């Protein structure tokens, strides 16, 4: 199989590309390497896969110095002509679409970035899969689509019509757009709702990164909703394994779908939605305590009210994922935090 992975310089994309290359797969990576957070970390991820910074910045398709089966192109999703040229030249069998404008709070100040990347950009990915037919499109959705839902664990079979951030709304829109293209053009599509991903090479704007930096620097940590927060923290290796297992299993339309009682997780089109989460919500304060233990330092906590666009808790029902792939995430928070801290100290070498 030939894979196209968008967001290849990002947190999840890097891990997916690395795993595919270790398996001996042929991979093309794409990323615009924007400055939403420090691009240096993105270039460092690319370097791990043999892509040098100068060549990555060139805007030309470049080969890896480490993996002969890997090529990378710096390209934005909004640039349809360049994206189509990539599809035409590379002709991927499987597209794993992980590129997006991330961040719930950032969407409150910069909504236009989410429309450009997550709506216009995703439309171009769908059009690319239509013009140059693929065997499977796997795309990143988010647990944020559950919004105001409170029935837990969150199930793919529940409706998700009440997002509380524009970021969440764009992810719900991606699911709807993918379904329409699956229905109209027969593109096998699977959306994956990720639950609070963390681990080595993670994003600096995410909680674990911020908490670690603050504890090491003796700075206070802001804990929202007065500490009454819980998240289904999911370690990056579990996310990667779930993505790659799903990628090998393109969906088919189902005859048992009932239009009088429509199930949002599947349909008569070749389309599916899956949660990928640890199925074990953890209180944010317990997460902080695990981090304190690994760092050998206590955190100073500042309790704050709930932030706009945030939700008090998440919890993934992964029974569908396990039934289809035979796999469910299993890495404990203690083990995941241990691995992250070990990487963080090695990469940043704090005093």
Structure-block tokens of residue 162: 């009440």
> Quick count: other Cβ atoms within 10 Å of Cβ 263?
16
Q: How far is CA 284 from the centre of its chain?
A: 20
Q: Omega before 153 cis (within 30°)?
A: yes
User: What burial class does residue 217 get, using C-beta atoms within 10 Å of its C-beta: 0-12 exposed, 13-18 middle, 19+ buried?
Assistant: exposed
Q: How far is CA 56 from the centre of its chain?
A: 22
In 1-12, which positions are buried (b, 16+ CB within 10 angstroms) versus exposed (e)? ebbbbbbbbbbb
Q: Catalytic pick from 36, 167, 235, 344? A: 167
Mark whether 167 is an active-site residue: yes
Coil, strand or helix at 221:
strand
Phi, psi for 123 (deg, rounded to 5): -60, -40
Q: Which residues are catalytic?
A: 167
């Amino acid at each position: 199989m030939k894979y196209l992975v968008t967001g290849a310089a990002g947190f999840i994309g890097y891990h997916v590309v690395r795993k595919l290359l270790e398996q001996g797969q042929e991979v093309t990576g794409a990323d615009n390497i924007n400055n939403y957070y420090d691009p240096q970390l993105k270039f460092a991820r690319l370097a791990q896969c043999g892509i040098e910074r100068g060549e990555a910045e060139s805007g030309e398709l470049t080969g890896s110095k480490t993996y002969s089966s890997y090529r990378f192109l710096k390209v934005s999703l909004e640039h349809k002509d360049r994206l189509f040229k990539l599809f035409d030249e590379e002709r991927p069998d499987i597209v794993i679409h992980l590129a997006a404008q991330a961040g719930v709070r950032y969407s409150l100040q910069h909504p236009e970035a989410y429309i450009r990347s997550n709506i216009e950009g995703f439309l171009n990915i769908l059009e690319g899969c239509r013009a140059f037919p693929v065997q499977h499109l796997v795309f990143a959705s988010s647990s944020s689509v559950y919004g105001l839902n409170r029935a837990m664990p969150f199930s793919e079979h529940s409706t998700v019509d009440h997002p509380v951030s524009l970021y969440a709304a764009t992810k719900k829109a991606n699911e709807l757009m993918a379904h329409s293209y699956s229905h109209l053009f027969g593109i096998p599509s699977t959306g994956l709702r990720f639950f609070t991903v963390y681990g080595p090479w993670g994003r600096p704007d995410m909680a674990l990164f911020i908490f670690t930096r603050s504890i090491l620097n003796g700075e206070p940590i802001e804990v929202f909703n007065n500490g009454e927060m819980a998240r289904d923290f999911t370690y990056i290796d579990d996310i990667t394994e779930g993505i790659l297992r799903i990628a090998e299993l393109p969906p088919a339309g189902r005859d048992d779908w009932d239009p009088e009682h429509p199930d949002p997780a599947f349909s008569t089109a070749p389309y599916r939605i899956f949660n990928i989460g640890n199925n074990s919500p953890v209180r944010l304060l317990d997460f902080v305590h695990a981090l304190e233990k690994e760092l050998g330092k206590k955190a100073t906590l500042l309790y704050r009210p709930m932030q706009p666009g945030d939700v008090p808790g998440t919890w993934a029902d992964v029974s569908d994922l396990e039934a289809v792939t035979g796999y469910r995430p299993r890495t404990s928070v203690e083990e995941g935090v241990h691995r992250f801290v070990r990487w963080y100290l090695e990469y940043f070498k704090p005093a």
